[in-house]
Amino acid sequence: MNKQVRGIIDALNIKYPDAICALHYNKDYELMIAVRLSAQCTDARVNLVTPALFAAYPTLEAMAGADIADVEGYIHSCGFYRQKAKDIVFACQMLLSEYGGKVPGTMEELLRLPGVGRKTANLLLGDLYNEPGSVVCDTHCMRICERLGLSKGREPEKVEKQLRAVLPPEESSDFCHRIVLFGREICTARGPKCDQCPLAIYCKHINNG
């Protein structure tokens, strides 16, 4: 690992010592649901929606048996609610029928679940199983890592591969959580606060801009 990568990781660790997922959940399948709802929706909005949803369907069995139209009503404000409702109910059914009622712990198994892509799978592996090398390539991660010279391009799978090659596996999941916090507070898409940035010395946007 080169000094730049170590410096970036250390600066983020100091700025955001608590690298936690912004989505609220108590059970493994609730995190799966929350991440599905977060697609093209803010985590803050998801956290407003999920308490009522989880209260209405307090168990995996209840969620798996839910009427999709009823679920749509709870998640309407998250956008793309029809497809998300289907994915949630069908994924919960699959957890019961094929995975013993537990969110599985391998990439291959997770990708079989409706609505679960690599970004969601990596987040679940990192947060639920502490799987080394779990890299969550969301828009914050891709934008900021390109600015820092850690990756190139905006294709999630390619960026994931690039970051796996440079990040310490045991720190990659926390790194991605910290990047999200950093992207919301300082390195925003439209108005980055470069004068407040603890990573300024590593940033191509500043130093080559």
Residues forming the active site: 119, 138
Mention every residue, 6+ apart, whose C-beta is less than 8 A from residue 133.
164, 167, 169, 172
Dist. CA 138–CA 203, nearest whole Å? 19
- Buried/exposed code over 36-49 (b: 16+ C-beta within 10 A; e: otherwise): bbbbebebeebbeb
Q: How many helices (H) and strands (E) does the chain have?
A: 12, 0
| Tokens read off for 151 | 């990756």
